[in-house]
Structure 1
Amino acid sequence: MENIIKPEQPLACFQVITDTHVTDRVDHIHNRHLEKALADITMYSSGSSGIMHVGDLTDRGLPEEYRQLHRILSIYQESLPEIRYTVGNHDIGDTLWQDPPLDLTTMTEDEVERVLEHSAATAKGEPGSTGESILPFTLWEKRLNQFAVATGMRGSYHDHWINGYHYIFLGTEQPHPKNCDMSAEQLEWLATKLSEDASPDRPIFVFLHQPLIDTVAGSMKEQGWYGVTQDAELKAILSHYPQVFLFSGHTHWQLEAKRTMYDGGDQMPTMFNAASVGYLWTDQDEPLEGSQGLHVDVYHDRVVVKGRDFVTGTWIENAEYVVQLPKIKKTVTNHLQSDDSL
């Protein structure tokens, strides 16, 4: 009888999705894309450590949008791994991105309450028409509390040990319309968490909605979709841990674009753009209808990251990356457009 060599099984696996932008319209394409993505993930997520969502769950952070999110999740709750969430600027920012955008900081507290409890369409008062403008801290509390209640997360930053691997979620502490603003306390917390039982040959997985400048697709200075106020400070902390894998969203850049992966070598983490479930963006700076995400397999000597097209239910050609551990050298498989020079 011939010996049959079984394929090597990963020690752990998980999925990364981002920018679902769920709206209050049941049949909106963003909602349908999320349903299709979750249905697709159920086909290959057996044994998964979880789905890691990198922010912008909703389009405006409104209660009805969170209700639609829960409706969609309930369809697949029996067959999906647990989902953990990162805060995005659309979820907790000080601007509701609609037409025209609504600046919550120009409104009174009562007006903001009406918007957040019902919808922007039912807020009849003129922004800032009565009383004093809402204090940013009060606005931050309201937005973050709605996110925490809807997701079960402990706040804008939190961490989890899952099946022997460390998963760390970072996020803004101000309701900025676009960027991430991290406190000194969060940065100190991160430095402490990264050091916990750290080993050069065991990856640490970090999730942050906004990418660091000049790293992954969409984050180049001229593109403008980077967005961490403490960019230099965060890079300084991460530079001590090249075994970190940092996943970000925000840019929506499709996985076929250049710089889906940023190769930090042995000086910085490996970073990945996780595209978007809601809609995509291209290197030609144009929107593209589509829905994509990442699947991650962890082996004893490497981490494999693969791009998934949720619309077609197929793996994306030339979007597979193999990162060797310990992180002394990297091999990028089938991705001719990767950029290793940054």
Structure 2
Amino acid sequence: MEHSYTSPTEQPIIRFQVITDTHITTNPEHVHNLQFGQALRDIKATAPDSVGIMHVGDLTDSGDDKEYAEVHRIWSENRMGLPDLLVTSGNHDVADQPWRKDAGTCDWRELLGNFMDKTGMPGHYHDHWINGYHFIFLGTEEGTNEFADLSETQLIWLDAKLAEKAASGKPKFVFLHQPLKNTVAGSSETQGWYGVNQDEEMKAILNCHPQTILFTGHTHWVLVSPNTIFGGNGSATMFNASSVAYLWTDEDVKKAGSEGFFVEVYEESVLVRGRDFTTGTWVEEAHFTVRNALASDQSGNQY
């Protein structure tokens, strides 16, 4: 894997986008709501041939029905010319926490069921084949506050899904709201914005499938941070996908802004390009090349 950006001369096989942490509120004029619409319009203008917009959780700010109504309003107003929006849950969508003070108190089971009902996703975790490429969405099965909790059944399912057509050497794209500990930006043990209760179990699975590219959200860390990309060289590659609603820095400071990724897939590589949605420009420091390779041709690990 190369941590640099190289523009191929051929056209990509597919393009898609990765966004996360939109934190939609009940207020149509809230900056989060406005920036979600702005991001969708930028995607439409910049990548009209996109095959999908992959959302990595915290779609809403508290899982309230009125917030989902705002999601649907914004999506409906911008839907024409956009591909499907595929979503996994984040802690703000499904955990009963103090940030829900304006939405009342709900059991996490109700919140998780409501998430699936309002987004139309087929389950807590789900997968999709698009133009011959595999897109796998993981999600918490319990309302464990900040952390994701993945059942043994889900982990076995993940391992099996990553093994499907693995001999082709094609990358497998995985999406989970929370990052694994001590991997991408914002996930170090001292920063505290990891994690997954089954951290070690999931890392062991990923070690067996080095063609995996995992996108996570949750930390909001800016794309120019160290460790926006992590792993590779025989292990799965991981990306911090920043946030559409607001950003966070290594100085532990909140920052206004809206970012995400544009992904281009080629025969021999995957290009991941950071995008600033507020200015409609590329984040030049966040352009990366991940070389495709058969799992048997790769060795070593970075965890």
**TM-score under structure 1 normalisation?**
0.82
Find the counterpart in structure 1 of residue 180 from structure 2.
Answer: 212
Contact 1:45 1:80 in 2 (8 A): no
Correspondent of 1:152 among 97, 111, 120: 120
Alpha-carbon distance in 2 for matches of 1:263, 1:305: 14
> Which residue does the alignment assign to 1:192?
160
CA shift, 1:146, in A, is: 0.8
- Match in the other structure for 2:261: 294
Residues 81-90 or 39-48, more deviating: 39-48
1:19/1:249 contact within 8 Å kept: yes
What do the CA deviations read for 1:153-190 (whole angstroms, capped 9, x no partner)? Answer: 01210000010000000011101111001111111111
Give distance in 1, aligned partners of 2:269 and 2:9.
Answer: 15
Considering only CA atoms, is the larger Rg found in Structure 1 or Structure 2?
1
* Whole-angstrom distance in 1 between the partners of 2:232 and 2:190: 21
Q: Which residue of 1 aligns with 2:12?
A: 10
Give the SS at the match of 2:263: strand
Report deviation, 1:200: 5.7
Helix, strand or coil for the counterpart of 1:97?
helix
- Equivalent residue of 2:45, what SS? coil
The match for 1:45 is 47
CA shift for structure 1 position 17: 0.1
CA distance in 2, matches of 1:173, 1:341: 28
Superposed CA offset, 1:261-303 (max 9, x none)? 002311x200000000000000101100000000000000000
1:341 Cα deviation after fit: 7.1
Q: Report the number of matched residues.
A: 292
Identity, in percent, stands at: 52
Q: 1:323 — aligned with what?
A: 290
The CA RMSD over aligned residues, in Å, is 1.8
Distance in 2 of aligned mates of 1:234 and 1:59: 27
Q: Distance in 1 between matches of 2:283 and 2:177?
A: 22
Partner of 1:108: none
Equivalent in the alignment of 2:251: 284
8 Å CA contact 1:308–1:315 kept in 2: the answer is yes
Q: Deviations over 1:227-265 (max 9, x none)?
A: 100000001111111000000000000101111000231
Q: Which runs of 5+ in 2 are unaligned?
A: 1-7
- Matching residue of 1:311: 278
1:223 to 179, 188, 191: 191
1:261 alignment partner in structure 2: 229
Deviations 1:165-219 (A, max 9, x none): 0000001110111100111111111111111111362000000000001110000
Which structure carries more relative contact order (alpha carbon 8 Å, separation 6+)?
2
Q: Which moved more, 1:46-55 or 1:57-66?
A: 46-55
Question: Residue 19 of structure 1 aligns with which residue?
Answer: 21
CA gap 1:240/1:200 in 2 versus in 1, 3 angstroms = farther
Which AA in structure 2 matches 1:30?
H
Shift of 1:96: 4.4
Question: Which amino acid in structure 2 is aligned with residue 226 of structure 1?
Answer: Y
> Is the Cα–Cα contact under 8 Å of residues 38 and 76 in structure 1 kept in the other structure?
yes
Residues of 2 paired with 1:192 and 1:7: CA distance? 35
Q: Which runs of 5+ in 1 are unaligned?
A: 1-5, 103-118, 128-133, 330-339
8 Å contact kept, 1:20–1:56:
yes
For residues 240-259 of structure 1, what are the structure 2 equivalents within 5 Å? 240-259=208-227
Task: Report SS of the residue matched to 2:63.
Answer: coil
SS of residue paired to 1:42: helix
Runs of 4+ in 1 over 3 A off after TM superposition: none
